[in-house]
């Protein structure tokens, strides 16, 4: 099928590339010329395992193209994905201006062919109808510019025969394993009131639903949840709010464990074996972050507020998380007492491993608060240390390797559970430090191994 993906970030580029890999002809559009140039030259602007290889092969097959020309993308696609960012506003609601700009642009370029417009961006509940209206506005503005007659979008639709439907198709991929998740989804959610649009979406995803590109091709087909647009939009928010709440729950349990002398890793194991609870998302630590959980939970709380409903549980999940992000500072103060004049080294900066994404990463809070308390902050991150200039970090010296990081530090804080941090030469690192203290912010390291290497080990809730 002919597909256009607008916005080539973590979601758009992965979606476009994977759809090209399974045989569709995809044009990816982005208004960032630099990014388009980079992608045309065969390079990925983001770090995502397996993505570059797929981009190379899909581009070589002629199935994947990049452009900044929205008109060309709209003309090409029978299915048009909107995958631009919806960052949070200071009030907590989503900033939908990028979605609006794209919808208006699509309206300005629609031709007589039937198109399906797919909201892949996480958008506030009710955005399906809103996108439709903006597209019609764009269409009416084009008509007005061409004929100087004032017409409404609906009149233009009647006159020109332009036909389109809007589908909500929320994305659940996880950064760091986004390609894997796209080929092995737990479910696909489609929201629309148009059977024609639904049929096209089913055809588009058929190879993935049939697990043709899955790790385990013998599994039953991927469940497809077909529902109305608002429910599809709500599914995305509810899923993220649930996961964020689950982490805040175990962090709260960890804080109680710390006080009563229990070990939260054992508690998590003990409760996670209950099939009603499940073991995932029960790792206590320094809190959740990234570009999705904080903004999606806040947006849902904000939507509830708009309807006069106070979402107590979700608000509490956010509050627990805000407090949790300071837990490493509390632990550093317990061990080092005064932080002014001390040097603290951070192992990891990204909000999770296997990504270069720093949006709303707990490391940023830590750096800010350590600086405020007069500590010098250094960091080593397997990806950011290679691409540091790109991230515009401030208040932190980004070192090129873990040993340079350890040199002269009064304590280390493990912030991101990168796999390579399991096997660093901690014996050597301990000798390079003023005080070999390790605050394990993810309960990720081997406590006994660290202690044997000479570290004072401090976990979360252990
Ligand atoms: P991103 O910021 O990485 O990428 C957005 C891209 O859109 C950028 O490349 C930007 O240049 C481009 N863009 C902005 N305005 C444009 C325009 N007018 N025309 C063309 N391109 C334009 O965002 P992301 O992380 O990929 O997230 C996209 C959406 O998907 C968001 O709504 C997000 O909430 C949702 N989502 C993200 C994830 C994730 O893990 N990142 C997971 C699920 C859902």
Helix ranges restricted to H, 307-435: 312-324, 327-336, 362-372, 384-391, 402-406, 426-432
Among 71, 70, 43, CA closest to 55: 43
CB of 99 shorter than 6 A to ligand 1: no
276-299: burial string, b at 16+ Cβ within 10 Å, e else: eeeeebbbbbbbbbbbbbbbbbbb
Q: Pull the structure tokens for residue 455.
A: 């570290």
Please identify, by atom number, the ligand 1 atom nearest to the C-alpha of residue 174.
40
Please identify, by atom number, the ligand 1 atom nearest to the C-alpha of residue 11.
26
430-449: burial string, b at 16+ Cβ within 10 Å, e else: bebbeebbbbbbbbbbebee
Is residue 167 classed as helix, strand or coil in its secondary structure?
strand
Rounded average pLDDT per 10-residue block, the chain, 462 residues: 98 98 98 98 95 97 98 98 96 95 96 94 94 95 78 75 95 97 98 98 98 98 98 98 98 98 98 98 96 95 97 98 96 98 98 95 96 98 83 91 98 98 98 98 97 98 94
Topology, domain 235-323: 1.10.1040
CB of 98 shorter than 6 A to ligand 1: yes
Contacts of 312 by beta carbon, 8 Å cutoff, 6+ apart: none
**Residues tagged active-site:** 292
Contacts of 115 by beta carbon, 8 Å cutoff, 6+ apart: 74, 77, 78, 79, 80, 163, 164
Give the separation between CA 355 and CA 36, rounded to whole angstroms: 20
Strands (DSSP E) contained in 150-295 are 164-168, 188-191, 224-227
Give the separation between CA 362 and CA 5, rounded to whole angstroms: 31
CB of 35 shorter than 6 A to ligand 1: yes
CB of 32 shorter than 6 A to ligand 1: yes
CB of 15 shorter than 6 A to ligand 1: no
Residue nearest to ligand 1 atom 14, measured at CA: 84
- Å from CA of 313 to ligand 1 middle: 28
Phi, psi values for residue 82, rounded to 5°: -100, 115
Among 430, 382, 381, CA closest to 409: 430
First and final C-alpha spacing in the chain? 53
Topology, domain 2-227: Rossmann fold (3.40.50)
Residue nearest to ligand 1 atom 44, measured at CA: 171
- Å from CA of 325 to ligand 1 middle: 26
CB of 9 shorter than 6 A to ligand 1: yes
Among 407, 455, 453, 411, CA closest to 432: 407
Please identify, by atom number, the ligand 1 atom nearest to the C-alpha of residue 86.
32
325-458 and 235-323 share a CATH fold = no
CB of 5 shorter than 6 A to ligand 1: no
Write down the pLDDT at residue 388. Answer: 65
Contacts of 143 by beta carbon, 8 Å cutoff, 6+ apart: 149, 151, 156, 159, 160
Stated as kind and residue range, the H or E segment containing 237 is: helix 229-260
- Å from CA of 418 to ligand 1 middle: 24
By most ligand atoms within 8 Å of CB, the mutation choice from 11, 88, 93 for ligand 1 is 11
CATH of 325-458 among 3.30.465.10, 3.40.50.720, 3.40.50.970, 3.30.56.10? 3.40.50.720
- Å from CA of 13 to ligand 1 middle: 9
Phi, psi values for residue 209, rounded to 5°: -60, -40
Phi, psi values for residue 199, rounded to 5°: -60, -40
Write down the pLDDT at residue 152. Answer: 77
Tell me which residue has tokens 């602007």: 45
CB of 455 shorter than 6 A to ligand 1: no
Delimit the domains of the chain by residue range.
Answer: 2-227, 235-323, 325-458
- Å from CA of 12 to ligand 1 middle: 7
CB of 30 shorter than 6 A to ligand 1: yes
Give the separation between CA 215 and CA 186, rounded to whole angstroms: 13
Write down the pLDDT at residue 433. Answer: 98
């Amino acid at each position: 099928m002919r597909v256009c993906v607008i916005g080539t970030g973590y979601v758009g580029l992965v979606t476009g590339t994977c759809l090209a890999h399974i045989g569709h002809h995809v044009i990816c559009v982005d208004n960032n010329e630099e990014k388009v140039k980079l992608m045309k030259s065969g390079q990925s602007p983001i770090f995502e395992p397996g993505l570059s290889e797929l981009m190379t092969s899909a581009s070589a097959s002629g199935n994947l193209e990049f452009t900044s020309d929205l008109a060309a993308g709209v003309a090409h696609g029978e299915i048009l994905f909107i995958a631009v960012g919806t960052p949070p506003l200071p009030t907590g609601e989503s900033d939908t201006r990028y979605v609006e700009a794209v919808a208006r642009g699509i309206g300005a370029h629609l031709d007589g062919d039937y198109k399906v417009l797919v909201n892949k961006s996480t958008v506030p509940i009710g955005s399906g109808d809103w996108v439709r209206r903006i597209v019609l506005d764009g269409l009416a503005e084009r008509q007005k510019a061409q004929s100087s007659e004032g017409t409404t979008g609906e009149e233009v639709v009647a006159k020109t025969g332009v036909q389109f439907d809007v589908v909500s198709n929320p994305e659940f991929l996880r950064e760091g394993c986004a390609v894997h998740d796209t080929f092995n989804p737990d479910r696909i959610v489609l929201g629309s009131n148009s059977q024609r649009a639904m049929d096209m979406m089913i055809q588009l995803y058929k190879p993935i639903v049939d697990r043709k590109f899955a790790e385990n091709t013998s599994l039953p087909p991927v469940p497809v949840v077909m529902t109305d647009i608002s429910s599809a939009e709500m599914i995305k928010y509810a899923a993220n709010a649930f996961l964020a709440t689950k982490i805040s729950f175990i962090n709260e349990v960890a804080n109680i464990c710390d006080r009563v002398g229990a070990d939260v890793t054992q508690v998590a194991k003990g409760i996670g074996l209950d099939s009603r609870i499940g073991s995932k998302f029960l790792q206590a630590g320094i809190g959740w972050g990234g570009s999705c959980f904080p903004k999606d939970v806040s947006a849902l709380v904000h939507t509830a507020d708009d309807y006069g409903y106070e979402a107590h549980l979700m608000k509490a999940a956010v509050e627990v998380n805000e407090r949790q992000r300071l837990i490493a500072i509390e632990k550093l103060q317990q061990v080092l007492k005064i932080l002014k004049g001390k040097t603290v080294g951070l192992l990891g900066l990204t909000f999770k491993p296997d990504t270069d994404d720093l949006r709303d990463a707990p490391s940023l809070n830590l750096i800010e608060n350590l600086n405020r308390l007069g500590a010098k902050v250094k960091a080593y991150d397997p990806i950011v240390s290679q691409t540091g200039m790109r991230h515009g970090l401030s208040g932190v010296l980004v070192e090129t390797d873990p040993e340079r990081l350890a040199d002269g530090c009064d304590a280390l804080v493990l912030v991101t559970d990168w796999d390579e941090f399991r096997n660093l030469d901690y014996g050597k690192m301990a000798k390079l430090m003023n005080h070999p203290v390790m605050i394990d912010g993810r309960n990720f390291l081997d406590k006994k191994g660290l202690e044997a290497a000479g570290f004072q080990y401090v976990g979360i809730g252990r």
